[in-house]
Structure 1
Amino acid sequence: MNFPTPLALTALLVLTASPGSRAQTKAPGPWNNKQCAVVLTYDDAIADDLDHVIPALDSVKLRGTFYLIGSSPVVAARLPEWRRAAQRGHELGNHALMHPCDGSLPGRSFVTPDNDLSKYTISRAVSEVRVNNVLLKAIDGKTARTFAYPCGDRQIGGVYFYEQLKPDFVAARGVSAGLQPMAQVDLANINSYMINGQSGDYLVDLVRQAQRSGALLVFLFHGVGGGHSLNVELAAHRQLLRYLKAHERDIWVAPMVEVAEKIKANQSSASSGK
């Protein structure tokens, strides 16, 4: 009887390997070898972040980004809780010291004269953001973090003030909705979906769209279960977290700073031809 040679055996094993076995050898994808990336962000440092959101995230071992306003009374009153959140892997992002918004725009009657970005100088805006970074570092001891534009406002007198802040941050989150592949993400103005009253089915469907397109999806929450005029029900938020946890093999869920660092490294390698 003629037995196959070792070379022939090797070829036979490769040809008869199961599809699942061959799939395990595929090249890693851009999102930590997962279908897409999802970032959960929560603005304004409100009590519901500490009372509802962080316990919900911790219960399913997911991590988010909390954009803190330095002057928020909830930061001062509950500083040890924010520190513990950072220790558990949540990002404390920078949402400016005073949360200034452009009061010259339509629908901005809520903007006070003291916090009107249109009356700021560039140096004042930059200085207040940097002061907030000092406060955040005192809370979590970290130097790498991301920024979120208050009200999504990026300009003062036609000048993009974040240009001076790029060395201080890994990236900045904006408020324009959209899914983006890694190569198209603008680290100075990352897209996000502002959530206000949508259902859990809507939130999950956004994730499914990101999975199909291999894109980055950023959620922008304010109130969760109350505490803010922009709000999502606890049940809808819980449905989203359950879906993300159930599909964590396929979805990379991480704080904005970690995802932005991955994007920055990938874009840098691409631009250098590596």
Structure 2
Amino acid sequence: MKPIDTIALALGLLAATTPTLRAQTNSPAWNNKQCAVVLTYDDAIDVDLDNVVPALDSLKFRGTFYIIGSSPVVTKRLSEWRAAARRGHELGNHALFHPCDGSLPGRGFVTPDHDLSKYTVGRAVDEIRANNTLLAAIDGKTARTFAYPCGDLQIGGVKFYDQLKNDFVAARGVAPALKPAAQVDLSNVDAYSINGQSGQYLIDLVKQAQASHTLLVFLFHGVGGGHSLNVALPAHRQLLRYLKAHEKDIWVAPLVEVAEKIKAEQAGGAAKK
């Protein structure tokens, strides 16, 4: 065989096998794409509606907004939250009053009325369920996810979410990690908290998720201001543009939808054992 024929044969074999290899690296859990990216925004603040929702809508992306029911931004802008939900954004539960454990270091901002360390498990559960009722009145939905205020999981050593597992599809935490679907803990989904990082840093995280075929959850607060934890508008815009340019390989969806896929994958894996 001539050298040119050998090269042609090799190229032909590569072309024939590439779709198969690509299919093997994509995951049903990630909607048959390389990875899943979830954009979450905490605390129901004005910039969510002023900056984030328009940015996501312009690129036809949908995010998860974790709502504190008592936030004045919920009261004053109820119709806008309802409209965002109609366009496919998830209104997640961030508790009625966002209680955090005031006994921990650096928690001087915690008020006595909403100090989680002074709560009973029953009170925490009741307030979270009351917030679910409020959110259902806004968006008419029953399936949603929860986000632990301040990432606090326990009251007096008891994991309060254990009583809420039937109320939610999943709960988002604050520990940063990239995991395949089989390893995702739906009672404490890992997330990368963003505060001041560059757009390139955000994109590099996405590239890591693509290479490892894992779930990447971003945790934002302020976007272009509005919170002490903040990401600049250009950095956020740079991330969204990268996601849009690579949407054939990256599944961008609200956490409730991604968690449903993960749950199905984990159930299927357990059934095979």
Q: What whole-Å deviation, never above 9, does each CA across 1:140-196 have from its counterpart, x for those lacking one? A: 000000000000000000000000000000000000011111110000000000000
Q: Please tell me whether residue 220 in structure 1 is matched to residue 216 in structure 2.
A: no
Match of 1:40 in 2: 39
Number of positions where the alignment pairs a residue of Structure 1 with one of Structure 2:
260
RMSD between aligned alpha carbons?
A: 1.6
- Match for residue 19 of structure 1 among 15, 34, 48: 15
Q: 1:46-65 maps to which residues of 2 (within 5 A)?
A: 46-65=45-64
Equivalent residue, structure 1, for 2:252: 253
Residue 272 of structure 1: SS of its match in structure 2? helix
In structure 2, the residue matched to 1:29 is 27
Q: Which residue of 2 aligns with 1:110?
A: 109
Once residues 224 and 161 of structure 2 are traced to their aligned partners in structure 1, the CA distance between those partners, rounded to angstroms, is: 32
What is aligned with 1:74? 73
Q: 1:236 and 2:235 equivalent?
A: yes
- Give a deviation string over 1:197-240, Cα, whole Å, max 9, x none: 00001000000000010010000000000000000000000000
Please state if 1:210 is matched with 2:209. Answer: yes
2:190 aligned counterpart, secondary structure: coil
The question of whether the paired residues in 1 share the 8 Å contact of 2:27 and 2:213 is answered with no
1:149 and 1:265 mapped to 2: Cα distance?
A: 23
Give 1:26 deviation, angstroms.
Answer: 3.7
Deviation at 1:17, TM superposition (A): 7.7
User: Who is 2:178 aligned against?
Assistant: 179
> What's 1:128 paired with?
127
Q: 2:142 maps to which residue?
A: 143
Partner of 1:6: none
Whole-angstrom CA distance in 1 between matches of 2:59 and 2:174: 27
* 1:171 aligned partner, one-letter code: A
Q: Secondary structure at the match of 2:272?
A: coil
User: Equivalents in 2 of 1:87, 1:49: separation in Å?
Assistant: 16
Q: What are the ranges of 5 or more consecutive residues in structure 1 without an aligned counterpart?
A: 1-14
Letter in 2 for 1:110: F
Structure number with bigger Rg: 1
% identity of equivalent residues = 74
Q: CA deviation at 1:77?
A: 0.4
- State the alpha-carbon separation in 2 of the partners of residues 223 and 177 from structure 1: 19
Question: In structure 1, what is the Cα distance between the partners aligned to 2:134 and 2:16?
Answer: 49
